[in-house]
Amino acid sequence: MAATTFAAFDPKPLRLGTVINFTATSAILQGHVVGFAATGIAWEVAPVTGGTAATGIKPIGIALYSAAAGQKVAVACVGSVVKALAATDATIDTGDHVIAGATAGMVLVAPGTDSIEIGIALQDLVTTVPGYILITGPTYVPTGGA
Amino acid sequence: MADVDPATVFVYEPNPTYIAETSDFIAGSTILAGQVVAFAGTGVAWSVNPCNGVSTAAVVGVALHGAATGAHVAIAGPGSVILVQNGDDTATLEAGDIVQAAATAALGCVTAETDATAHYQVGILLEAMTAGGSAYALLTPHHYINEGV
């Protein structure tokens, strides 16, 4: 399950739900899953790694374009249908709930342990080929939860 | 921890910066502008009340204005960016914290999400929230968090 390398891509929204204007705390690439750090800063996001509750990371959406640290960045949030990139060689099936992956800005299948889901895959996602997800979160899903 | 008094804190406009899904409901009891509202445990069609996190817990959204019992009230729903009120006058919250409805006494307020009991999520804070203060949140209600109970 090797991690893929992230290269900026156009998330090509089929539908934009809520779009929020944040400030990038570090460099963000177009298509990155972004969110708040464990110790959050108001209206500031960065590429996120890991969507388990233990990491404290709070993914909130996908960057619609690239931004350097300190710049403004528009983030597609809940209700948006946009492309995301799978974090590992493992296929994400259509209908799988996804979290932020171990590699910055990518997504991974939600585990059976505490996690913070960002959305649901609308098609099979394979590495190197971004696919569509519906952003439904962030949603905290504790172990054993629905 | 001490619960805030809803009558004292809900004296502001929720000032949405973005209104997403918004629906017209009927107030099942008095609703103050900015309160998180929910269906009662035994739901009544199109009727919402200030959320108490226990018996009235199925969160719909945040009231855009106050309403007397029986009056129409517009509720900002999922995807809206709007002020929510801290139900605790001693605890602070951070940007990125996911919040749920606060305890019974703090009607219509929020508190940090916990997996101790089953509950409904309200949203995620977009900025820090002072003790007893308000802050902008992205609303992501309707998610029932079961904690495997």
Domain-located, residue A8: no
Q: What is the DSSP string of B41-91?
A: SS--TTEEEE--SSSS-EEEEEESS-B-TTSEEEEE-TT-EEEEEBSBSS-
Residues spanned by the domain of A120: 19-141
Read off the pLDDT of residues A5-44 as tens digits, 9 standing for 90 and up.
788 999 999 999 999 999 999 999 999 999 998 888 999 9
Report which residue type is found at A51.
G
Q: Does the distance separating the beta carbons of B96 and A40 come in below 8 Å?
A: yes
What is the C-alpha separation between B22 and A140, in angstroms, rounded? Answer: 23
Domain-located, residue A55: yes
Cα–Cα nearest to B88, from B66, B54, B112: B112
- What does the block give as tokens for A23? 């400030």
Q: Does the distance separating the beta carbons of A42 and B126 come in below 8 Å?
A: yes
ipTM: 0.84
B148 touches chain A (CB under 8 A): yes
Read off the pLDDT of residues B82-97 as tens digits, 9 standing for 90 and up.
999 999 999 999 999 9
pLDDT of A146: 42
Domain-located, residue A28: yes
Read off the pLDDT of residues A86-96 as tens digits, 9 standing for 90 and up.
987 667 899 99
8 Å CB contact between B114 and B86: no
Domain total in chain A: 1
- Residue B148, Cβ neighbours under 10 Å: how many? 10
| Chain B residues within 8 A of A62 when measuring between CB atoms | none
B126 touches chain A (CB under 8 A): yes
Domain-located, residue A39: yes
CB under 8 Å to A24, separation ≥6 — which residues? A34, A44, A45, A46, A67, A68, A69, A70, A71, A72, A73
Q: Does the distance separating the beta carbons of A141 and B94 come in below 8 Å?
A: no
Mean of pLDDT values over A53-60: 78
